[in-house]
Amino acid sequence: MASRSSRRPKHSESGPERLHGRHVIAEALVARRRALYKLLVRPGAPSAELARLIELAKGAEVPVVETDPERLVELAGETGAGLQGALLEAGALPEFSQVSQLLIEGGSARGRRVLVVLDGVEDPQNVGGLARVADAAGASGLVLARRRSPPLSPALARASAGAIERLPVARVGNLVRTLEDLKKEGFWVVAADPEARQELFTMPDRLLQGDLAVVLGAEGRGLRTLVQATVDHPVRIPMRGQVASLNVATAGAVVLFELLRREEFSPSGS
């Protein structure tokens, strides 16, 4: 059994990150999974949204510093478009290095666990979008490979609308071994595969019950061969239009919410 200290997520030792956007800042201040250094806000009477961020910062004992608007934009750099009068300086988001640690952190009170596993999805916008979908669909956590996956950057946090602040993440060295370990823990591995014979919506309920690892591959390349070989149930999203495929974040949303629908509304669901 791992010690308590070994189960803690790792924090990067790099300099402070600068988060902006009301949702991202609010989620970071509420979740408190990062080191929180200070909230920079424009001077003057705050709007209702800015006043809430200030209240959250004070509740988390984070210093609030009035800062010239031009300086806020300068600090935000290239990401400063649409700056909403506030900037949060914080540490990097923590990441687990083993999926077993993630399972402890992201355990579900209902007993069912769903992990979203990404194979070669490198675009921060897509990973952020998938994090938002995973959180909304009640997933227990997100699994990324150390190679060919983006850092949990402020841009990714914005793409997730702050959901990544709450969703536990593990970054592992060997995705195939991780899936095999999950199978030993009782997980079934489901993957979105446009070449699969079985359609998602006609998949028997009995094959989609219990703990699940939902694997999504990069657009164009799809799943790597060794990853694909670990999949128990490849499923195809039926396409009726002229477009041959979906964006990976959209495909992930279809699969995850179909699983949620079956769990909560199917007569055979628990």
- Model pLDDT for residues 31-47, shown as the tens digit of each residue: 999 999 999 999 987 88
4 band by pLDDT with thresholds 50, 70 and 90: very low
192-220 in b/e form (b: 16+ CB < 10 A) is bbeebeeebeebeeeebbebbbbbbbbbe
Residue that finishes a domain, picked among 70, 90, 110: 90
Of the segments 23-37, 82-96, 216-230, which one has the largest average pLDDT value?
23-37
pLDDT, averaged across the chain? 87
CB-based contact 239:195 (threshold 8 Å): no
Question: What is the extent of the structural domain holding 135?
Answer: 99-265
186 and 210 share one domain: yes
Non-local CB neighbours of 228 within 8 Å, separated by 6+ positions: 191, 193, 222, 234
Nearest by Cα to 155 from 77, 95, 64: 77
Q: 3 lies in a domain?
A: no
1 band by pLDDT with thresholds 50, 70 and 90: very low
CA distances from 41 to 55, 78, 79, 266 (A): 12, 18, 16, 48
CB-based contact 106:141 (threshold 8 Å): yes
126 and 243 share one domain: yes
Angle at which helix 22-31 crosses helix 48-59, to 10 degrees, equals: 20
73 and 114 share one domain: no
Query: Looking at the predicted structure, is the pLDDT value of residue 83 above 90?
Result: no
Nearest by Cα to 87 from 157, 165, 18: 18
Residue bearing the bigger pLDDT, 118 or 77: 118
Q: 227 lies in a domain?
A: yes
Q: What is the CATH number of the domain that holds 34?
A: 3.30.1330.30
Question: Which token pair is 202?
Answer: 């006609």
What's phi and psi for 206, nearest 5 deg? -60, -20
Of the segments 19-23, 79-83, 89-93, which one has the largest average pLDDT value?
89-93
148 and 203 share one domain: yes
CB-based contact 94:142 (threshold 8 Å): no
Residue 91 CA to residue 70 CA, distance in Å, equals 23
97-107 in b/e form (b: 16+ CB < 10 A) is ebbebbbebbe
Specify the pLDDT at position 165.
96
Residue 149 CA to residue 49 CA, distance in Å, equals 33
Specify the pLDDT at position 92.
95
Q: Residue 222 pairs with which residues in a beta bridge?
A: 218
Report pLDDT digits (tens) over 139-165.
999 999 998 899 999 999 999 999 999
